[in-house]
Amino acid sequence: MTKLARRALKTAIFLAAAWPMASLAHDVFWGALAADPYPPVIQSTGLWSLRLLLLGLTLSPLARAARWTWPLDIRRMVGLFAALYAFVHLAVWCKDYGFDWGFLASEVVLRAYLAVGLAGALLLVPLAATSTDGSV
């Protein structure tokens, strides 16, 4: 794959991964989610985080199985977008409940899926923090 093709692929992946967030921002700022914006934003960011995380996890096996190098070129970007969506998901969920840390902690303890999601989001922190060129 040529350098120009790799750059075009990265640009296309960036635009595709940023589109759901841009669409949500448009809906929030232009009033499409005016009544109660939190549930659709929480659901959408959570789903996109999961989709991108699963895509990122499949890129290395795909590259090895098909002996391609291009999946490795986009893996970091896909992972960072997954982390971004997870952090927005977590932040909006906290904002929905007014950052009531006691209540949020009790919800995480009571509901296993929230505990798993929180653990996953927290595990993305060191991965995102160490994904810079200097860290790699």
Q: What is the pLDDT of residues 14-50, one digit of tens each?
A: 999 999 999 999 998 888 877 888 999 999 999 999 9
Going from N- to C-terminal start, the domains of the chain cover: 3-129
Full-model pTM = 0.92
Percent above pLDDT 70 for the chain = 99
Cβ-proximal residues to 56 (8 Å cutoff; 6+ apart), any chain? 75, 78, 79, 82
Distance of alpha carbon 30 from alpha carbon 50, whole angstroms: 26
CB atoms within 10 A of CB 112: 9
pLDDT at position 136: 67
Distance of alpha carbon 49 from alpha carbon 84, whole angstroms: 8
Q: Does residue 134 register a pLDDT over 90?
A: no
